Amino acid sequence: MDTQLALWEVFVQSKPGQPYKHAGSVHASDKQMALQNARDVYTRRGEASGLWVVRAADIAASDLADSDMFFEPANDKIYRHPTFYEIPAGAKNI
């Protein structure tokens, strides 16, 4: 019998206001165990102001094989970048 429990991905926020970054994973039976294991494994030196744990099975990720096609709609919209626009000479602070 496999007794390794479910896989959870761990995200650590290093300071208040900072984004959560993926740190690694732990095995756990429920949210509380996942949080405690993540604390013990990934934050033994005060690395964290916040922790997220997410069941690995619940994460939806883009498909690598289709990534060119998937992200393609952004490629031909260069007018979304500020450098696309011509600004008259002499205009300041824009």
Partner 1 sequence: MPTTTSAPDDFFTAKIKRGDNIEPRDPMPEEYRRHLIRQISQHAHSEIIGMQPEGNWITRAPSLRAKMILLAKIQDEGGHGLYLYSAAETLGVGREEMIEQLQTGKARYSSVFNYPALTWADIGAIGWLVDGAAIVNQVMLQRTSYGPYARAMVRICKEESFHQRQGYEIMAKMAAGTPEQRDMAQDALNRWWAPALMMFGPPDAESLHSKKAFLWKIKRESNDALRQKFIDKTVQQAEVIGLKIPDPELRLNAETGHYETSPLNWEEFHRVIDGYGPCNRQRLEHHRRVHEEGAWVREAAAAYAGKFN
Nearer to partner 1, 25 or 51 (CB): 25
Phi, psi of 91 (to 5 degrees): -70, 135
Site for partner 1 in 49-68 (CB under 8 A): 61, 64-66
Structural contact between residues 50 and 12, judged by C-beta atoms closer than 8 angstroms: yes
Per CB under 8 A, the list member of 6, 14, 20, 52 interacting with partner 1 is 6
What DSSP state is assigned to residue 45?
T
Asked if residue 75 binds partner 1 (CB under 8 A), the reply is: no
Asked if residue 72 binds partner 1 (CB under 8 A), the reply is: no
